[in-house]
Amino acid sequence: VETFPYGAGGIGYVDTTLYNSYDNNDLRKSLFYTSNGTGQIQFAGTYTGSFYNFCGIATDEIYLIRAECLAREGNYEGAMADINTLLSNRYKTGTFHPLTAGNADEALRIVLSERRKELPFRGQLRWEDLRRLNKDKRFEVTLQRIIDGTTYTLPPNDPRYVYPIPDNEIQYSNIQQNPR
C-alpha cells in the first residue's frame, strides 16, 4: 500500500490464496478485486470508490463479530444464521446456498474464513485477527511471501507482530524497545 499526503491508500496486491477462496458466483470476487493486466490481482478500492482505506465499522463486521461470539459460545446454529444472512446478499441471484455446520468448531472455522473474505484491506483488521488467532493452535498461520525472489516469513507469535515504539518515545521515556 502506498502513502499519500493526508492519508494512506494505493495499490494493494491480493494474495492468490485469498482471491481463489471466493466462489465464482460470489459478487465480492468481482467487486473487491481487479486484474492489472499482468496477471496480478489488485484490490479495487473501498466504499468510497477510492484507494483510501475505510477503517470504520460497518454492518458486515457486526454480523461477523456476533457470529464468531455465537460459535465460541457453542451456538453454531445462531452463528450460521448470521453468516447466511450476510452471505445471502453476496452472491449472484439464485446461486446462494446456505452454509451449514455440524458443530461449533466447524461454524467457527466458517465464520473466520468469511471474515477474511468480507473484510480485506479494512484498516488493520487482518493484522489484529492474525495476532489474536495465532494464540490458538487451531488457527495459527505462518505468513510467507516471495517478493523479487526473496522469501519473507512471519511465524505465529513472532515478536515482529508488535509494532516498534517510535524512537522519540524511547528517547524521552527511557523505556525498552519492543523485541524484534
Domain, as residue range, for 26? 2-141
| Phi, psi (degrees; rounded to nearest 5) at 144 | -145, 130
Residue 116: inside a domain, yes or no? Answer: yes
CB 106 within 8 A of CB 100: no
When divided into structural domains, the chain yields a total of 1
Residue 158: inside a domain, yes or no? Answer: no
Which pLDDT value is given to residue 46?
64
Report residue 59 as a C-alpha cell.
454492518
Residue 58: inside a domain, yes or no? Answer: yes
Residue 119: inside a domain, yes or no? Answer: yes
**97-120, pLDDT tens digit by residue?**
999 999 999 999 999 999 999 999
Residue 180: inside a domain, yes or no? Answer: no
**pTM of full prediction above 0.95:** no
**35-74, pLDDT tens digit by residue?**
888 888 988 876 666 656 667 788 999 999 999 999 999 9
User: The CATH number of the domain where 132 resides is what?
Assistant: 1.25.40.900
